[in-house]
Amino acid sequence: MIQLEELKNLLSNCDENSMLTFVGNFKPYDLAICVEKLDRAEQLQLMRLLPPEISAEIMEYLEPILQYQILNHLEEYETSQVLNKMSGDVVADMMLAIHRHQAIKLLNLLPQDYRDKVLTLMTFPEHTAGSLATIDYIAAQSSWTIERTLQHIRKVGHDAEITSYVYVTGIKGELLDVVSLKRIILSEPQTRLEDIVIGEVISVPATMKQEEAAELLSRYDLVALPVVEVQNRLIGVITVDDLIDVIHEEATEDIHKLGGSQPLTDAYFKTSVFHLYRKRIVWLLILFVAEAYTGTVLRHYEETLSEVIALAFFVPLLIGTGGNTGTQTVSTLVRALAVGDVQFRDIFKVMRKEMTTGLLTGASISLIAYLRALFLGVESNVGLVVAITAMCIVIWASFVAAILPLILHKLKADPAVVSGPFITTLVDGTGLIIYFTIAKILLGL
């Protein structure tokens, strides 16, 4: 980690050389973490001291608002230098995060063609493939020779973020193919690009959801994914690091949802208490109201309960076990759906698998439940009720938890809505009905 104090000292001493040596030892990511902790004057001082390409790299790791605040305080020519070195998708994100007037002022500092590309990127809604695309890729025509392509790379390559591939486009800018830099190096100077291209290029439409793009990239082991618009026109390329961020975000979302709260979008400490409250209270209240139903069930069986008070001892145990079984099943299936291992058409296979597993776990739990009842010193009749209920509740929970995520997925709703707390609540009320029905029958109440 960077010594924040040392950096602050060097900045206050205005010792440019030791400063640059010091900074040279660290990666832009580490410097960005540090920049967040400096005060505004120090941030500006550091940005002015560093070459614009390094400043731009650091900027890319900062939040859009902070990017703007720094750029806004720099001199106009400094701002334009840094802005020009930042990648198009990051600039577009920042523009969308700030006020329209501020954005226009900044856009005017960009050269015409770069500005147009940023404006295009700004039209794609958040969380789509288009919004992630960078415009700093290298394109070439299929009729070009290797020699001409290499000349082109030498001319435009300095600013390109996509460095391993050259995208082959047609006259109207339509994506035809892709060729790796390695392949170019290995080929003879007079070979034409059309003779060495990979064949079938994998691309995604700009409107595709970002998580689908991420899935495609990881399925086919790609390191960059070209993004196309109508008529297959190439508008940008998504780099693997942006899609790794998407994969992380999606997993975080699913984990939060499975935990029964709305997903947080920011890092933990950047989320305020009130925001945390709002994300949690919604589901907590919905579940509370649903769970309140257990009170109605219990009041309905008040008579049975007062006759055999021992039945009450096992209420938390039985519904708790049902909830646990349901949570296990739901988390397995929601994840299997997310990574594409399971689809709706598998519903009967899933049901069979989960209910057979439920039968096995139910039988094991049932046995232990009977022993526990005897150990608590209740009548053996009550013990039997508890054992049979345990079995039934486990199978019931497995069934519900197996089909609900699949049905939601089919309905194009997010299967992760069926969270652990959701399934627990559902099984609590219905589990009690199972319990008291079995009790009434077996105990003859």
**Footprint on residues 211-230 left by a second copy (CB under 8 A):** 217-223
In the region spanning residues 409 to 438, those forming contacts with a second copy, defined by CB under 8 A, are: 419-421, 424-425, 428-429, 432
Q: What is the closest distance, in whole angstroms, from the C-beta atom of residue 77 to a second copy in the complex?
A: 26
Confirm or reject binding of residue 342 to a second copy (CB under 8 A): yes
The HSE-up count of residue 407 (CA atoms within 13 Å, CB side) is: 8
Give the number of other CB atoms < 10 A from CB of residue 371.
12
In the region spanning residues 99 to 118, those forming contacts with a second copy, defined by CB under 8 A, are: none
Size of the site for a second copy (CB under 8 A): 118
In the region spanning residues 368 to 397, those forming contacts with a second copy, defined by CB under 8 A, are: 368-369, 372, 376
Confirm or reject binding of residue 139 to a second copy (CB under 8 A): no
Q: What is the closest distance, in whole angstroms, from the C-beta atom of residue 419 to a second copy in the complex?
A: 8
The HSE-up count of residue 190 (CA atoms within 13 Å, CB side) is: 0
Q: Are 382 and 311 in contact (CB under 8 A)?
A: yes
Confirm or reject binding of residue 181 to a second copy (CB under 8 A): yes
Confirm or reject binding of residue 37 to a second copy (CB under 8 A): no
Confirm or reject binding of residue 265 to a second copy (CB under 8 A): no
Helix (H) or strand (E) holding 277: helix 273-291
Helix count and strand count (H, E) for the chain = 24, 6
Q: What is the closest distance, in whole angstroms, from the C-beta atom of residue 224 to a second copy in the complex?
A: 9
Confirm or reject binding of residue 295 to a second copy (CB under 8 A): yes
Among 4, 65, 104, 186, binds a second copy (CB under 8 A): 186
Nearer residue to a second copy within complex by CB, 144 or 313: 313
Q: Are 91 and 131 in contact (CB under 8 A)?
A: no
Nearer residue to a second copy within complex by CB, 125 or 295: 295
Distances (CA, A) of 281 to 139, 215, 312: 50, 32, 29
Q: What is the closest distance, in whole angstroms, from the C-beta atom of residue 335 to a second copy in the complex?
A: 5
Selection from 160, 200, 161, 155 nearest residue 179 by Cα = 200
The DSSP letter of residue 233 is B
State whether the Cα torsion 393-395-398-403 is positive or negative. negative
Q: Is 416 exposed, middle or buried (0-12, 13-18, 19+ CB in 10 A)?
A: buried
Confirm or reject binding of residue 332 to a second copy (CB under 8 A): yes
Confirm or reject binding of residue 361 to a second copy (CB under 8 A): yes
The DSSP letter of residue 190 is T
Confirm or reject binding of residue 267 to a second copy (CB under 8 A): yes
In the region spanning residues 53 to 92, those forming contacts with a second copy, defined by CB under 8 A, are: none
For 178, the 3-state DSSP assignment is: strand
What one-letter code names the amino acid at 241?
D
Q: Among all chains, which residue has been given the structure tokens 């319990």?
A: 435
Q: Are 331 and 420 in contact (CB under 8 A)?
A: yes
Q: What is the closest distance, in whole angstroms, from the C-beta atom of residue 295 to a second copy in the complex?
A: 4
Q: Among all chains, which residue has been given the structure tokens 């391993």?
A: 164
Confirm or reject binding of residue 288 to a second copy (CB under 8 A): yes
Nearer residue to a second copy within complex by CB, 97 or 286: 286
Give the number of other CB atoms < 10 A from CB of residue 78.
16
Confirm or reject binding of residue 347 to a second copy (CB under 8 A): no
Among 180, 191, 232, 381, binds a second copy (CB under 8 A): 180
Q: What is the closest distance, in whole angstroms, from the C-beta atom of residue 332 to a second copy in the complex?
A: 6
Nearer residue to a second copy within complex by CB, 133 or 432: 432
Q: Are 78 and 47 in contact (CB under 8 A)?
A: yes
Alpha-carbon dihedral angle through residues 97, 101, 102, 107, given to the nearest 10 degrees = 90
Q: What is the closest distance, in whole angstroms, from the C-beta atom of residue 115 to a second copy in the complex?
A: 25
Q: What is the closest distance, in whole angstroms, from the C-beta atom of residue 242 to a second copy in the complex?
A: 9
Q: What is the closest distance, in whole angstroms, from the C-beta atom of residue 281 to a second copy in the complex?
A: 5
Confirm or reject binding of residue 305 to a second copy (CB under 8 A): yes
- Segment interacting with a second copy, rule: CB under 8 A, options 5-13, 99-107, 139-147, 286-294: 286-294
Confirm or reject binding of residue 177 to a second copy (CB under 8 A): no
